[in-house]
Structure 1
Amino acid sequence: MFGLESDSTLLFLAAAFCALCYLAICAGPGKSWLKTLLKTASVALLAVIAFLAAELMLLAAALMACAIGDFFLSRDEDEAFLTGVGAFAIGHLAYAALFYIHPSADLTRLEAGWPLVAALLLLGVVMIVVLFRRAGPLRWAVVVYVPVILVMGIMAIGIPLEGGLALILPAALLFIFSDFVLAQEMFVLDDSHRLRRVTPYAVWVSYWSAQALFLVGLSTGA
Protein backbone atom coordinates (compact mmCIF):
# COMPACT_ATOMS: atom_id res chain seq x y z
CA MET A 1 0.00 0.00 0.00
CA PHE A 2 1.49 3.35 -1.11
CA GLY A 3 4.85 1.62 -1.40
CA LEU A 4 4.85 0.63 2.29
CA GLU A 5 5.72 -2.80 3.67
CA SER A 6 2.91 -4.95 5.08
CA ASP A 7 3.70 -4.12 8.73
CA SER A 8 3.87 -0.44 7.87
CA THR A 9 0.56 -0.70 6.02
CA LEU A 10 -1.11 -2.00 9.18
CA LEU A 11 0.40 0.85 11.17
CA PHE A 12 -0.80 3.34 8.55
CA LEU A 13 -4.33 1.94 8.73
CA ALA A 14 -4.20 2.18 12.54
CA ALA A 15 -3.05 5.81 12.25
CA ALA A 16 -5.87 6.56 9.80
CA PHE A 17 -8.39 4.90 12.14
CA CYS A 18 -7.20 7.07 15.05
CA ALA A 19 -7.40 10.14 12.80
CA LEU A 20 -10.98 9.33 11.77
CA CYS A 21 -11.99 8.70 15.38
CA TYR A 22 -10.51 12.04 16.38
CA LEU A 23 -12.30 13.74 13.49
CA ALA A 24 -15.59 12.45 14.86
CA ILE A 25 -15.06 14.10 18.25
CA CYS A 26 -12.73 17.03 17.54
CA ALA A 27 -15.52 19.61 17.56
CA GLY A 28 -16.92 18.39 20.87
CA PRO A 29 -16.75 20.73 23.86
CA GLY A 30 -13.75 20.77 26.17
CA LYS A 31 -10.53 18.83 26.38
CA SER A 32 -10.33 15.12 27.14
CA TRP A 33 -7.70 12.43 27.44
CA LEU A 34 -9.50 10.48 24.69
CA LYS A 35 -8.99 13.40 22.31
CA THR A 36 -5.36 13.67 23.37
CA LEU A 37 -4.74 9.95 22.87
CA LEU A 38 -6.35 9.76 19.43
CA LYS A 39 -4.77 12.97 18.18
CA THR A 40 -1.29 12.02 19.34
CA ALA A 41 -1.45 8.39 18.21
CA SER A 42 -2.62 9.29 14.70
CA VAL A 43 0.70 11.06 14.01
CA ALA A 44 2.98 9.07 16.34
CA LEU A 45 2.11 5.91 14.39
CA LEU A 46 3.20 7.64 11.18
CA ALA A 47 6.49 8.45 12.92
CA VAL A 48 6.93 4.77 13.77
CA ILE A 49 6.45 3.86 10.10
CA ALA A 50 9.15 6.34 9.10
CA PHE A 51 11.42 5.04 11.86
CA LEU A 52 11.13 1.50 10.48
CA ALA A 53 12.60 2.76 7.19
CA ALA A 54 16.29 3.43 7.88
CA GLU A 55 16.52 6.15 5.23
CA LEU A 56 13.66 8.19 6.75
CA MET A 57 15.07 9.01 10.19
CA LEU A 58 14.74 12.78 9.75
CA LEU A 59 11.14 12.31 8.64
CA ALA A 60 10.55 10.17 11.73
CA ALA A 61 11.98 12.95 13.90
CA ALA A 62 9.75 15.56 12.23
CA LEU A 63 6.63 13.43 12.68
CA MET A 64 7.44 12.59 16.29
CA ALA A 65 8.06 16.25 17.11
CA CYS A 66 4.64 17.06 15.66
CA ALA A 67 3.05 14.21 17.64
CA ILE A 68 4.55 15.68 20.81
CA GLY A 69 3.19 19.05 19.74
CA ASP A 70 -0.26 17.49 19.28
CA PHE A 71 -0.11 16.08 22.79
CA PHE A 72 0.66 19.41 24.43
CA LEU A 73 -1.67 21.50 22.26
CA SER A 74 -4.53 19.19 23.23
CA ARG A 75 -4.14 20.24 26.89
CA ASP A 76 -5.41 23.43 28.53
CA GLU A 77 -2.50 25.24 30.15
CA ASP A 78 -0.56 28.11 28.53
CA GLU A 79 2.67 26.29 29.40
CA ALA A 80 1.42 23.27 27.46
CA PHE A 81 0.59 25.54 24.51
CA LEU A 82 4.10 26.99 24.46
CA THR A 83 5.64 23.52 24.67
CA GLY A 84 3.41 22.36 21.83
CA VAL A 85 4.33 25.33 19.64
CA GLY A 86 8.01 24.66 20.35
CA ALA A 87 7.63 21.01 19.38
CA PHE A 88 5.90 21.94 16.14
CA ALA A 89 8.61 24.48 15.37
CA ILE A 90 11.19 21.70 15.73
CA GLY A 91 9.07 19.52 13.46
CA HIS A 92 8.88 22.22 10.78
CA LEU A 93 12.62 22.84 10.95
CA ALA A 94 13.21 19.10 10.57
CA TYR A 95 10.95 19.07 7.50
CA ALA A 96 12.75 22.11 6.07
CA ALA A 97 16.12 20.41 6.59
CA LEU A 98 14.78 17.21 5.04
CA PHE A 99 13.61 19.04 1.93
CA TYR A 100 16.87 20.99 1.70
CA ILE A 101 19.12 17.93 1.80
CA HIS A 102 16.89 15.66 -0.30
CA PRO A 103 18.83 14.32 -3.32
CA SER A 104 16.18 15.65 -5.70
CA ALA A 105 16.02 19.12 -4.14
CA ASP A 106 16.97 22.07 -6.32
CA LEU A 107 16.60 25.55 -4.85
CA THR A 108 16.68 27.10 -8.32
CA ARG A 109 13.05 25.95 -8.53
CA LEU A 110 12.28 28.81 -6.15
CA GLU A 111 13.00 31.21 -9.02
CA ALA A 112 10.36 29.63 -11.23
CA GLY A 113 8.05 29.37 -8.24
CA TRP A 114 8.51 32.99 -7.15
CA PRO A 115 4.76 33.80 -7.24
CA LEU A 116 4.14 31.10 -4.65
CA VAL A 117 7.12 32.25 -2.59
CA ALA A 118 5.78 35.81 -2.69
CA ALA A 119 2.29 34.65 -1.72
CA LEU A 120 3.65 32.71 1.25
CA LEU A 121 5.71 35.68 2.41
CA LEU A 122 2.69 37.98 2.11
CA LEU A 123 0.57 35.52 4.07
CA GLY A 124 3.28 35.39 6.73
CA VAL A 125 3.36 39.18 7.09
CA VAL A 126 -0.44 39.34 7.39
CA MET A 127 -0.48 36.56 9.99
CA ILE A 128 2.26 38.19 12.06
CA VAL A 129 0.51 41.58 12.05
CA VAL A 130 -2.90 40.13 12.93
CA LEU A 131 -1.71 37.63 15.52
CA PHE A 132 0.62 40.07 17.24
CA ARG A 133 -2.44 42.19 17.98
CA ARG A 134 -4.73 39.30 18.94
CA ALA A 135 -2.62 36.61 20.63
CA GLY A 136 -2.10 38.43 23.93
CA PRO A 137 0.71 37.04 26.10
CA LEU A 138 1.33 34.30 23.52
CA ARG A 139 2.07 36.80 20.74
CA TRP A 140 5.83 36.33 20.70
CA ALA A 141 5.62 32.55 20.47
CA VAL A 142 3.21 32.86 17.57
CA VAL A 143 5.29 35.54 15.82
CA VAL A 144 8.40 33.34 16.00
CA TYR A 145 6.47 30.29 14.80
CA VAL A 146 5.12 31.89 11.60
CA PRO A 147 8.50 32.32 9.85
CA VAL A 148 9.45 28.76 10.79
CA ILE A 149 6.50 27.21 9.01
CA LEU A 150 7.06 29.51 6.02
CA VAL A 151 10.63 28.25 5.73
CA MET A 152 9.26 24.71 5.60
CA GLY A 153 6.81 25.67 2.86
CA ILE A 154 9.42 27.50 0.80
CA MET A 155 11.88 24.60 1.06
CA ALA A 156 9.14 22.28 -0.23
CA ILE A 157 9.05 24.28 -3.47
CA GLY A 158 12.54 22.95 -4.19
CA ILE A 159 11.24 19.37 -4.34
CA PRO A 160 10.30 18.24 -7.90
CA LEU A 161 6.67 17.61 -8.78
CA GLU A 162 7.48 14.10 -10.00
CA GLY A 163 6.33 10.68 -8.84
CA GLY A 164 5.65 10.37 -5.14
CA LEU A 165 7.58 13.57 -4.48
CA ALA A 166 4.78 15.48 -6.22
CA LEU A 167 2.86 15.07 -2.95
CA ILE A 168 5.35 17.10 -0.92
CA LEU A 169 4.44 20.63 -1.98
CA PRO A 170 0.67 20.07 -1.66
CA ALA A 171 1.31 18.54 1.77
CA ALA A 172 3.32 21.58 2.85
CA LEU A 173 0.58 23.93 1.66
CA LEU A 174 -2.03 21.88 3.52
CA PHE A 175 0.08 22.12 6.67
CA ILE A 176 0.32 25.91 6.32
CA PHE A 177 -3.42 26.13 5.66
CA SER A 178 -4.11 24.06 8.78
CA ASP A 179 -1.98 26.36 10.94
CA PHE A 180 -3.60 29.44 9.41
CA VAL A 181 -7.12 28.21 10.20
CA LEU A 182 -6.08 27.11 13.70
CA ALA A 183 -4.63 30.56 14.39
CA GLN A 184 -7.90 32.18 13.30
CA GLU A 185 -9.84 29.80 15.51
CA MET A 186 -7.68 30.39 18.58
CA PHE A 187 -7.03 34.11 18.37
CA VAL A 188 -9.30 35.86 15.87
CA LEU A 189 -12.78 34.34 15.62
CA ASP A 190 -15.32 35.19 18.31
CA ASP A 191 -16.66 32.28 20.34
CA SER A 192 -20.05 32.62 18.63
CA HIS A 193 -18.69 32.94 15.08
CA ARG A 194 -20.42 30.53 12.71
CA LEU A 195 -17.14 29.45 11.12
CA ARG A 196 -16.28 27.72 14.39
CA ARG A 197 -18.70 25.00 13.35
CA VAL A 198 -16.32 23.90 10.61
CA THR A 199 -12.85 25.09 11.65
CA PRO A 200 -12.03 22.04 13.83
CA TYR A 201 -12.75 19.75 10.88
CA ALA A 202 -10.83 21.92 8.42
CA VAL A 203 -7.82 22.03 10.73
CA TRP A 204 -7.72 18.32 11.41
CA VAL A 205 -8.38 17.05 7.87
CA SER A 206 -5.78 19.35 6.32
CA TYR A 207 -3.21 18.73 9.07
CA TRP A 208 -3.37 14.94 9.19
CA SER A 209 -3.60 14.71 5.40
CA ALA A 210 -0.41 16.78 5.20
CA GLN A 211 1.45 14.45 7.55
CA ALA A 212 0.23 11.35 5.72
CA LEU A 213 1.18 12.83 2.34
CA PHE A 214 4.66 13.68 3.62
CA LEU A 215 5.10 10.06 4.68
CA VAL A 216 3.72 8.55 1.48
CA GLY A 217 5.52 11.00 -0.79
CA LEU A 218 8.91 10.55 0.84
CA SER A 219 8.46 6.78 1.15
CA THR A 220 7.67 6.31 -2.52
CA GLY A 221 9.95 9.06 -3.82
CA ALA A 222 12.98 8.59 -1.54
Structure 2
Amino acid sequence: MSAVPLLALPFFCAALVLALWQGVAFAGAPASWRKSFIKTGAVWALAAGLALSAPAGTGAVILVGLVLGGLGDFFLSRPGQGAFLAGMVAFALGHLAYAAAFFALGRAWPDLWPALGAGALAALAFLFLAPRAGALKWPVQLYIGVILVMVLAALRVDDPRIFWGALCFMASDFILALELFALPPGRVRRAASHIVWALYWPAQALIAWSALG
Protein backbone atom coordinates (compact mmCIF):
# COMPACT_ATOMS: atom_id res chain seq x y z
CA MET A 1 0.00 0.00 0.00
CA SER A 2 1.86 3.02 -1.31
CA ALA A 3 1.77 6.67 -0.34
CA VAL A 4 0.09 9.22 -2.59
CA PRO A 5 2.53 10.06 -5.46
CA LEU A 6 4.03 13.55 -5.39
CA LEU A 7 2.29 14.54 -8.63
CA ALA A 8 -1.13 13.70 -7.19
CA LEU A 9 -0.44 14.96 -3.66
CA PRO A 10 -1.36 18.67 -4.22
CA PHE A 11 -4.72 17.63 -5.67
CA PHE A 12 -5.43 15.25 -2.80
CA CYS A 13 -4.51 18.00 -0.32
CA ALA A 14 -6.79 20.46 -2.15
CA ALA A 15 -9.55 17.86 -2.04
CA LEU A 16 -9.08 17.52 1.73
CA VAL A 17 -9.31 21.30 2.22
CA LEU A 18 -12.49 21.46 0.14
CA ALA A 19 -13.92 18.46 2.01
CA LEU A 20 -13.29 20.14 5.37
CA TRP A 21 -14.82 23.37 4.07
CA GLN A 22 -17.89 21.49 2.88
CA GLY A 23 -18.22 19.61 6.16
CA VAL A 24 -17.90 22.69 8.36
CA ALA A 25 -19.74 25.31 6.31
CA PHE A 26 -22.16 23.63 3.96
CA ALA A 27 -23.24 20.19 5.18
CA GLY A 28 -26.89 20.60 6.03
CA ALA A 29 -26.99 24.11 4.54
CA PRO A 30 -29.51 25.14 1.86
CA ALA A 31 -28.60 24.73 -1.79
CA SER A 32 -26.27 27.35 -3.25
CA TRP A 33 -23.85 27.49 -6.14
CA ARG A 34 -20.91 27.87 -3.74
CA LYS A 35 -21.97 24.72 -1.92
CA SER A 36 -22.31 22.88 -5.24
CA PHE A 37 -18.84 23.84 -6.45
CA ILE A 38 -17.11 23.08 -3.15
CA LYS A 39 -18.87 19.75 -2.69
CA THR A 40 -18.18 18.67 -6.26
CA GLY A 41 -14.63 19.99 -6.17
CA ALA A 42 -13.81 17.91 -3.09
CA VAL A 43 -14.33 14.78 -5.20
CA TRP A 44 -13.20 15.99 -8.61
CA ALA A 45 -9.91 17.16 -7.10
CA LEU A 46 -9.34 13.51 -6.12
CA ALA A 47 -10.19 12.52 -9.68
CA ALA A 48 -7.73 15.07 -11.06
CA GLY A 49 -4.95 13.73 -8.84
CA LEU A 50 -5.72 10.18 -9.91
CA ALA A 51 -5.90 11.17 -13.60
CA LEU A 52 -2.36 12.61 -13.41
CA SER A 53 -1.05 9.13 -12.65
CA ALA A 54 -2.52 7.96 -15.99
CA PRO A 55 -4.21 4.92 -14.44
CA ALA A 56 -4.79 1.88 -16.63
CA GLY A 57 -7.02 -1.17 -16.24
CA THR A 58 -8.97 -1.16 -12.99
CA GLY A 59 -7.46 2.19 -12.01
CA ALA A 60 -9.03 3.81 -15.06
CA VAL A 61 -12.38 2.24 -14.21
CA ILE A 62 -12.15 3.60 -10.65
CA LEU A 63 -11.39 7.03 -12.14
CA VAL A 64 -14.63 6.80 -14.14
CA GLY A 65 -16.51 5.95 -10.94
CA LEU A 66 -14.92 8.89 -9.14
CA VAL A 67 -15.86 11.35 -11.89
CA LEU A 68 -19.44 10.03 -11.85
CA GLY A 69 -19.51 10.40 -8.06
CA GLY A 70 -18.52 14.06 -8.35
CA LEU A 71 -21.24 14.55 -10.95
CA GLY A 72 -23.72 12.92 -8.57
CA ASP A 73 -22.59 15.30 -5.82
CA PHE A 74 -23.28 18.25 -8.08
CA PHE A 75 -26.80 17.12 -8.92
CA LEU A 76 -27.65 16.19 -5.31
CA SER A 77 -26.52 19.63 -4.18
CA ARG A 78 -29.09 21.27 -6.48
CA PRO A 79 -32.76 21.66 -5.58
CA GLY A 80 -35.61 19.68 -7.13
CA GLN A 81 -36.65 16.08 -7.71
CA GLY A 82 -35.18 16.05 -11.22
CA ALA A 83 -31.73 16.93 -9.87
CA PHE A 84 -32.11 14.28 -7.17
CA LEU A 85 -32.92 11.59 -9.75
CA ALA A 86 -30.01 12.70 -11.93
CA GLY A 87 -27.73 12.44 -8.91
CA MET A 88 -28.99 8.94 -8.13
CA VAL A 89 -28.33 7.84 -11.71
CA ALA A 90 -24.80 9.28 -11.66
CA PHE A 91 -24.01 7.58 -8.36
CA ALA A 92 -25.53 4.27 -9.50
CA LEU A 93 -23.35 4.31 -12.62
CA GLY A 94 -20.35 5.20 -10.46
CA HIS A 95 -21.08 2.27 -8.15
CA LEU A 96 -21.30 -0.05 -11.15
CA ALA A 97 -17.91 1.21 -12.33
CA TYR A 98 -16.45 0.57 -8.87
CA ALA A 99 -18.07 -2.88 -8.78
CA ALA A 100 -16.54 -3.79 -12.15
CA ALA A 101 -13.08 -2.75 -10.93
CA PHE A 102 -13.47 -4.57 -7.61
CA PHE A 103 -14.68 -7.77 -9.27
CA ALA A 104 -11.59 -7.70 -11.49
CA LEU A 105 -9.34 -7.22 -8.45
CA GLY A 106 -11.01 -9.68 -6.11
CA ARG A 107 -10.99 -13.33 -5.21
CA ALA A 108 -13.86 -15.81 -5.49
CA TRP A 109 -16.01 -14.95 -2.47
CA PRO A 110 -16.41 -12.08 0.00
CA ASP A 111 -15.85 -12.67 3.72
CA LEU A 112 -19.05 -14.10 5.21
CA TRP A 113 -19.79 -11.84 8.19
CA PRO A 114 -19.16 -8.47 6.50
CA ALA A 115 -21.23 -9.68 3.54
CA LEU A 116 -24.10 -10.68 5.83
CA GLY A 117 -23.89 -7.32 7.61
CA ALA A 118 -24.00 -5.44 4.30
CA GLY A 119 -26.94 -7.55 3.17
CA ALA A 120 -28.82 -6.89 6.39
CA LEU A 121 -28.28 -3.13 6.12
CA ALA A 122 -29.44 -3.17 2.49
CA ALA A 123 -32.53 -5.20 3.44
CA LEU A 124 -33.35 -2.74 6.21
CA ALA A 125 -33.09 0.19 3.81
CA PHE A 126 -35.05 -1.69 1.12
CA LEU A 127 -37.94 -2.66 3.40
CA PHE A 128 -38.25 0.27 5.77
CA LEU A 129 -36.64 3.37 4.22
CA ALA A 130 -37.33 3.09 0.48
CA PRO A 131 -41.13 2.85 0.96
CA ARG A 132 -40.96 6.26 2.69
CA ALA A 133 -39.56 7.78 -0.52
CA GLY A 134 -43.02 8.02 -2.08
CA ALA A 135 -42.79 8.35 -5.87
CA LEU A 136 -39.04 7.67 -5.65
CA LYS A 137 -39.56 4.25 -4.02
CA TRP A 138 -38.57 2.15 -7.02
CA PRO A 139 -35.48 4.20 -8.03
CA VAL A 140 -34.33 4.14 -4.41
CA GLN A 141 -34.80 0.35 -4.16
CA LEU A 142 -32.87 -0.14 -7.40
CA TYR A 143 -30.10 2.08 -6.08
CA ILE A 144 -29.92 0.02 -2.88
CA GLY A 145 -29.38 -3.10 -4.98
CA VAL A 146 -26.61 -1.43 -6.96
CA ILE A 147 -24.68 -0.27 -3.90
CA LEU A 148 -25.01 -3.74 -2.35
CA VAL A 149 -23.41 -5.24 -5.47
CA MET A 150 -20.58 -2.70 -5.19
CA VAL A 151 -19.99 -3.50 -1.52
CA LEU A 152 -20.03 -7.27 -2.06
CA ALA A 153 -17.51 -6.82 -4.87
CA ALA A 154 -15.32 -4.69 -2.58
CA LEU A 155 -15.40 -7.34 0.15
CA ARG A 156 -13.66 -9.71 -2.26
CA VAL A 157 -10.58 -7.44 -2.51
CA ASP A 158 -7.58 -7.79 -0.16
CA ASP A 159 -7.06 -4.05 0.20
CA PRO A 160 -8.23 -2.36 3.41
CA ARG A 161 -8.69 0.95 1.58
CA ILE A 162 -11.30 -0.60 -0.69
CA PHE A 163 -12.87 -2.58 2.18
CA TRP A 164 -13.33 0.45 4.42
CA GLY A 165 -14.12 2.78 1.54
CA ALA A 166 -17.02 0.60 0.40
CA LEU A 167 -18.39 0.12 3.92
CA CYS A 168 -18.20 3.86 4.66
CA PHE A 169 -19.95 4.52 1.36
CA MET A 170 -22.81 2.20 2.25
CA ALA A 171 -23.12 3.62 5.75
CA SER A 172 -23.21 7.17 4.40
CA ASP A 173 -25.95 6.28 1.93
CA PHE A 174 -27.99 4.59 4.67
CA ILE A 175 -27.77 7.67 6.89
CA LEU A 176 -28.58 9.87 3.89
CA ALA A 177 -31.75 7.83 3.33
CA LEU A 178 -32.63 8.31 7.00
CA GLU A 179 -32.04 12.05 6.65
CA LEU A 180 -34.16 12.38 3.50
CA PHE A 181 -37.01 10.00 4.22
CA ALA A 182 -37.29 9.41 7.97
CA LEU A 183 -35.90 12.25 10.07
CA PRO A 184 -37.97 15.38 10.70
CA PRO A 185 -36.42 18.79 10.01
CA GLY A 186 -34.33 20.05 12.89
CA ARG A 187 -31.09 19.53 14.76
CA VAL A 188 -30.93 15.75 14.35
CA ARG A 189 -31.39 16.01 10.60
CA ARG A 190 -28.66 18.63 10.33
CA ALA A 191 -26.35 16.41 12.38
CA ALA A 192 -27.10 13.54 10.01
CA SER A 193 -25.93 15.70 7.08
CA HIS A 194 -22.55 16.18 8.76
CA ILE A 195 -22.25 12.44 9.49
CA VAL A 196 -23.09 11.60 5.87
CA TRP A 197 -20.29 13.83 4.61
CA ALA A 198 -17.84 12.60 7.28
CA LEU A 199 -18.37 9.05 5.97
CA TYR A 200 -18.84 9.74 2.28
CA TRP A 201 -15.80 11.83 1.41
CA PRO A 202 -13.28 9.51 3.18
CA ALA A 203 -14.91 6.64 1.29
CA GLN A 204 -14.20 8.32 -2.03
CA ALA A 205 -10.68 9.30 -0.90
CA LEU A 206 -9.83 5.74 0.16
CA ILE A 207 -11.07 4.26 -3.11
CA ALA A 208 -9.16 6.89 -5.11
CA TRP A 209 -6.01 6.20 -3.08
CA SER A 210 -6.35 2.48 -3.74
CA ALA A 211 -6.19 3.14 -7.49
CA LEU A 212 -2.77 4.79 -7.11
CA GLY A 213 -1.25 1.46 -6.15
Same fold (TM > 0.5): yes
Q: What is the aligned partner in structure 1 of residue 41 from structure 2?
A: 41
Write out aligned runs for 1:84-95 (5 A).
Answer: 84-95=87-98
| Counterparts of 2:185 and 2:163, CA distance in 1 | 33
* SS at 2:161 equivalent: helix
The Cα offsets for residues 42-63 of structure 1, whole Å up to 9 and x where unpaired, read as 1011111222223221111000
Match of 1:179 among 173, 178, 188: 173
Query: Contact 1:47/1:59 (CA < 8 Å) preserved in 2?
Result: no
CA contact (8 A) 1:26 1:200 kept: no
Q: Indicate the residue corresponding to 2:208 in structure 1.
A: 215
TM-score by length of 1: 0.89
Q: How does 1:65-84 map to 2 (within 5 A)?
A: 65-84=68-87
Residue 90 of structure 1: CA displacement?
A: 0.5
Structure 1 counterpart SS, 2:157: coil
- Tell me which of 187, 191, 212 is aligned to 1:198: 191
Q: Which has the higher contact order (CA 8 A, sep 6+)?
A: 2
Counterpart of 1:178 in structure 2: which amino acid? S
User: Is residue 122 of structure 2 the alignment partner of residue 124 of structure 1?
Assistant: yes
Q: Which residue of 1 aligns with 2:23?
A: 23
- Where do 5+ consecutive residues of structure 1 fail to align? none
1:100 shift after superposition: 0.7
Count the aligned residue pairs: 209
Q: What is the identity, as a one-letter code, of the residue corresponding to 1:216?
A: W
What is the deviation of 1:28? 5.0
Moved over 4 A (4+): none
* 1:62 aligns to 2:56 (yes or no): no
C-alpha distance in 2, partners of 1:27/1:174?
Answer: 17
Unaligned runs of 5+ residues in structure 2 are none
Equivalence map 1:131-210=2 (5 Å): 131-160=129-158, 165-192=159-186, 194-210=187-203
TM-score (norm 2): 0.93
